[in-house]
Chains A and B, each alone.
Chain A
Amino acid sequence: MPQPAFIEIKNLSVGYTSRSDKSILVLRDVNLSITRGDSVGLVGESGSGKSTLALAAMGYFKRGLHVISGQIHFDGIDMLNIERNALQRLRGGRLALIPQNSGQSLTPNLRIGQQITEALRLHSNIPATDFHAGVIDLLSQVRLPDPVGLTDRYPHELSGGQQQRVAIAMALASNPEALLLDEPTTGLDVTTQAHIMELLRDLAKDRNLAMLYVSHDLGAIARVCNKVMVLYAGETVLTGSANQVLLSPRHPYAHGLLASIPRLNEASLPQALDGRPPMPSETITGCAFADRCKLADQTCRSSPPPLDHLESGETVRCFHHYQIGQLNRKPQKSAKSNPIATCKNSALSLSNLSVSYSQPGLFSKLFRSQDIPPSTVERITIDIKKGETLGLVGESGSGKSTILKTIAGMVPAQSGNIILNQTEPLDTMVEKRPAAYLRQVQIIFQNPDDSLNPRHTVAQILAQPLRLYYGLSGTPLRDRSIAILEQVRLGEHYLERLPSQLSGGEKQRVAIARAFAADPEIILCDEVTSALDVSVQAAVLDLLDALKRQDGTTYIFVSHDLAVVKAISDRVAVLYQGRICEIGPVAAVYSAPFHPYTDALIGAVLEPDPDVAPRLTADDVVELSPPKTGCQFQRRCPRKLGSICEINIPPAQEVAPGHIIHCHIPQGDL
């Protein structure tokens, strides 16, 4: 018995007018209906139009966008022809939004209490005298500690997770009937994200809400949604129940997207989805996905596929959806090369490394000489073998990037040694290192927008290491540049382009090419895939792995994403507050026995599988600096033993060959 739709979007097309007066479509003929109690996940890569669709449900379009055709109804109310006052009452009232990036969505000059009070004043019947109590009640509903104190705080004084909870509290103020969520957990730490997802899940269940959840993260979708819609280039390509879409996707794009997600329970690299989605301005004659599709044939390129309604209740926009079984879900990738066994020589060894950012100023030297904060990074001892990939994993503030910067000579070490190739010390800052050492250590940054000079063409970018280290110029320089570009799977015609003319994935490939141009021993990868879409991420990981196998390069791979680290690394070190919790071969670290922190991290990972629930062990409190004494994890540890954890540095326990856990808990109990 189908319920009447609560939010109903019919044949919606949205577009903008380009500089050359062309009408460019961002959404094409999209249908969406959500009933009470439903939570629909809206999936797609950046530029797919998913945020535009979600905001359209509130009758809101960003500056420049306008409706070309279609209808939007909320509980029977026409959202496109509604008078302003009524719209204002609906927005934030019966229909509330939880925005992406709450840090920027909360007004900076208003206190938390004021902002939630405003929502209460606009959308609830409670008397003004009860506002304060109402605010505190809402803040405790979203499980924020110390709600009374929070009301006086400004948004910037809160951590990302807290800001997100405040945004949720604000949305709940009006007791809404429908909730729109626009990437609400993007940019948050794993444990924080998992906690917020659980909160949202409970809310949806308790209040019988209609929910529209926009995300690129299929793990999050799997956790809260019962239906999923996949958008590609502004078109619906697949809808169905969460189980149908996430477990047996009937569209090649959804299939590829799911295959490109690295998973904790798989040892191999995810399968890359090559190519990139078309720009809204490009004209598409056939299927928008045809260029990237393995099933595509002549029909796909010449005529647009219709949206098929299947008996199972799914809808698919594909001529070949019945052939989907031909796409191998789990291709047998050759197992990762295992250099630990083959190579014993150390490429880089860190011994007792510590780094401190705080340089006491004149005032603190004079007045508070005792109050020296503990070092940001401490007691890091790792020996990295030639050809090995070491993953450094941890949440924000874990010191993983600091360690990379210290190795690269961009941050001075406070104490300890860094030794390259067993004999060559890297104990100075980059300016004083000999050229031969510099060539051997290259770094790739997180954000290629920032790491490529916007004024240089790709040719100039690649020429820099080649000139510097090999003195190439003229034709040999050009030939070598082309060869390197081909290694990162970019053609010769990219040489004359500027970074602003490349997509995110292409930029990162150029950055990788630049690092490999030096033919280094070690490449430091600092969150190199975090700024990229999942499908692009898979391609970059695949490229890094292929290059490594070809050149025998050693990687130190920093990431906050446990699944990515698992996919690419041979050995993993888990860091918390600049100290190592656990280190060992990848298979060992990702299975018991665990350090309590590793356990909390792995438990919090959201798998793109509706049947897998996360385990939440530790709180998602954000700590700003490590404790002065004892174990770094003492304040959040769910298995804290007592004062021993506060006073003594935890011992290194070798639970298996090469697998070391720093914890006071006896080996057998871990």
Chain B
Amino acid sequence: MLFMLIRRVLLGGVTVCIVSLIIFSGVEMLPGDACTQFLGEYQADDELLAQCRKDLDLNRPAIDRFAEWTQGAVSGDLGLAADGKTKISTIVGDRLKNSLLLAFCAMSLGIPLALLLGVISGLWRDRLPDIIASTLAIFAMTIPEFVSATLLILVLSIWLGWLPGIVLTSAAAPSSEFFPEILLPVIVLSFVMCAHIMRMVRSSVIDVMASDYIQMATLKGVPYWQMVFRHALPNALLPAINVVALTIAWLLGGVVVIEVVFNYPGLGRLMIDSISDRNLPVVQSIALIVASIYVCVNLAADLLTMIANPKLRTMYMRKQ
């Protein structure tokens, strides 16, 4: 068990290392560097560029700078933004907090709903509740987020006037001030994430309900709902863990389009703004944060599956 755990964590660490390497070399390979971008507007002459590169320490070999960057990132110091003044950690900090808030709200609405709908449509396969839920899921999965967001704003905010359609709170404001503006983006996000999880859970419930052990439980005289909760669901929900993890990683990774539509000050919008401004140090940092979140969430899902699945658990715990 311990070996397995260490192995998984190490592999996750390796992935993060590769990510940072990709990010760093990706940025290195782009034409121009921080200085040509920063000074680009002034038609910088060679002398000015040389001075700038010296200031920003760009003349050292890439490997040295990579080492320094990663060292800083590990200790929480993400360096300075492209203007050479602002600390990246301050810019990113607030946005990260806001993104976490949005993700948390969407998760607490979307995941229970998705599991419930998935189980219901799996149990009542091909009957009315299933047909309605499955059709809605197809729409939620296929229609682009900006389309459903725009339509919801049109209906709920403009026509009915129930909810504010746009977030006007500033990035640094405390979390409580985002209500009720955050509700509409939360609804759209839960709608989208719900669909993937629901479809997965549905097919897993159908598989399990057709299994020999459910037939056996029925023929053992176990009452229906007891059978569903004791025999079916614990096994049917196991494979959902990984899908939920992927969805959470997607939520935390900055849902750019939604943030743009609702003007929400999260990581996603910071990312897009930084890319437009060519503020590459900030882009690098965001990429690293998002990738680390992705790896961590998936790692957590793997470990959770291992603990929740008796087959895997006993494989590592009891060595006969």
Contact = CB atoms under 8 A, between A and B. Distances in A.
Direct A–B contact in the complex, CB atoms closer than 8 angstroms: yes
Contacts of B219: 55, 58, 60, 91-92, 97, 99
Given A104-B212, A105-B213, A110 B230 contact: yes
B320 to A, nearest CB: 8
B90 interface: no
Interface size class of B (residues with CB under 8 A): 20 to 34
Given A109-B310, A157-B318, A91 B231 contact: no
Contacts of B309: 109
A89 B223 CA distance: 9
B74 interface: no
A96 B221 CA distance: 9
A96 B311 CA distance: 28
A106 B220 contact: no
Interface string A152-174: 00101100000000010010000
Most buried by B among A93, A109, A154, A157: A109
A105 B221 contact: no
A108 B216 CA distance: 12
Contacts of A108: 213, 235, 310-311
B220 A91 contact: yes
> How would you classify the secondary structure of chain A's contact residues: helix, strand, loop or mixed?
mixed
B139 to A, nearest CB: 28
B218 interface: yes
A363 interface: yes
B3 interface: yes
B217 interface: yes
A503 interface: no
A195 B220 CA distance: 24
Nearest to A367: B3
Most buried by A among B215, B221, B310, B314: B221
A330 interface: no
Nearest to B234: A109
A156 B221 contact: no
Contacts of A97: 216, 219-220
B221 A106 contact: no
Interface stretch (A116-124, A132-140, A217-225, A260-268): A116-124
A105 B3 contact: no
A92 B221 contact: yes
Interface string A115-151: 0001100110000000000000000000000000000
B211 interface: yes
A137 B25 CA distance: 68
Interface in B231-246: 231, 234-235
A215 interface: no
A109 B235 contact: yes
Most buried by A among B222, B223, B234, B235: B222
A156 B309 CA distance: 11
A136 B16 CA distance: 51
A167 B309 CA distance: 22
B130 to A, nearest CB: 15
Contacts of A384: none
Contacts of A96: 220
Contacts, number: 78
Contact of B213 (A87, A89, A106): A106
Most buried by A among B215, B216, B234, B318: B216
Contacts of B235: 107-109
Contacts of A167: 216
Given A109-B235, A109-B310, A89 B221 contact: yes
A93 B212 contact: no
B220 A92 contact: yes
Contact of A106 (B210, B216, B311, B314): B216
B311 A154 contact: yes
A63 interface: yes
A154 B309 CA distance: 11
A323 interface: no
A388 B314 CA distance: 47
Contacts of A109: 231, 234-235, 309-310
A105 B212 contact: yes
A63 B218 CA distance: 13
A101 interface: yes
B221 A170 contact: no
A371 B213 CA distance: 38
A112 to B, nearest CB: 11
A124 to B, nearest CB: 12
Contacts of B217: 107
A104 B213 CA distance: 6
A105 B310 contact: no
A60 B211 CA distance: 15
A122 B212 contact: no
A123 B219 CA distance: 12
Contact of A105 (B215, B230, B320): B215
A118 B310 contact: no
Contact of A154 (B3, B210, B223, B310): B310
Contact of A122 (B215, B221, B311): B221
Interface in B294-320: 309-311, 314, 318, 320
A90 interface: yes
Interface string A358-385: 0000010000000000000000000000
B231 A107 contact: yes
Contacts of A122: 220-222
A222 B218 CA distance: 30
Contact of A88 (B223, B234, B310, B318): B223
A63 B215 CA distance: 10
A156 B315 CA distance: 10
Nearest to A91: B221
B8 to A, nearest CB: 14
Contact of A156 (B218, B223, B310): B310
B216 A63 contact: no
B108 to A, nearest CB: 26
A283 B215 CA distance: 31
Given A104-B211, A157-B314, A363 B221 contact: no
A97 B213 CA distance: 12
Given A99-B216, A109-B234, A118 B318 contact: no
13 contacts: A62-B215, A92-B219, A97-B219, A99-B219, A104-B211, A105-B213, A107-B213, A107-B235, A110-B231, A118-B222, A118-B230, A122-B222, A363-B3
Interface of B: 3, 210-213, 215-223, 230-231, 234-235, 309-311, 314, 318, 320
Interface of A: 55, 58, 60, 62-63, 87-93, 96-97, 99-101, 104-110, 118-119, 122-123, 154, 156-157, 167, 170, 363, 624
Given A108-B235, A118-B220, A156-B310, 10 more contacts: A55-B219, A63-B210, A97-B219, A104-B212, A107-B235, A108-B310, A109-B310, A110-B230, A110-B231, A157-B314
